[in-house]
Amino acid sequence: MDKLYGGQRMLRGALHNALWMWENATIMIADIRHRLLRPDESIRHYQMLANMFMFAERSQVYLDDAQYQTERFGVFHEGKGTLLSIPPKYL
């Protein structure tokens, strides 16, 4: 029982430290963009203006020279200057 209590105390300490870091972190959201593409629309060679997270659902995504296929969905992190292309999807 002693070991379990010690483990719980360590877990609580780690959780407390993580929460403290999140509460005291400086986070700035500079820009939020939303664009929904129809199946016949595409994005070609869009250069990222800043680091960005992107959510893509059932699509093919090109980031610079790398190709990604999402069956259900994908979350991508792109760096500033990355070229984004999403070809049209014909059903």
Partners of 66 in the β-ladder: 63
- Residue 10: which pLDDT band, with cuts at 50, 70 and 90? low
The 8-class DSSP code of residue 74 comes to E
Percent of the chain whose pLDDT exceeds 70 = 82
Rounded to whole angstroms, the Cα distance separating 90 from 47 reads 24
- Residue 67: which pLDDT band, with cuts at 50, 70 and 90? very high
Look at residue 91 in the predicted model and tell me its pLDDT. 47
Residue 19 CB-density burial (10 A; 0-12 exposed, 13-18 middle, 19+ buried)? exposed
Kindly report the pTM of this predicted structure.
0.61
Beta strand pairing call for 83-86 and 66-69: unpaired
Give tens-digit pLDDT for 18-53. Answer: 888 878 877 666 677 778 888 889 999 999 888 888
Look at residue 1 in the predicted model and tell me its pLDDT. 42
Look at residue 64 in the predicted model and tell me its pLDDT. 94
- Look up residue 49 and give its two tokens: 């203006």
Q: Which residues contact 53 (CB under 8 A, 6 or more apart)?
A: 75, 76, 77
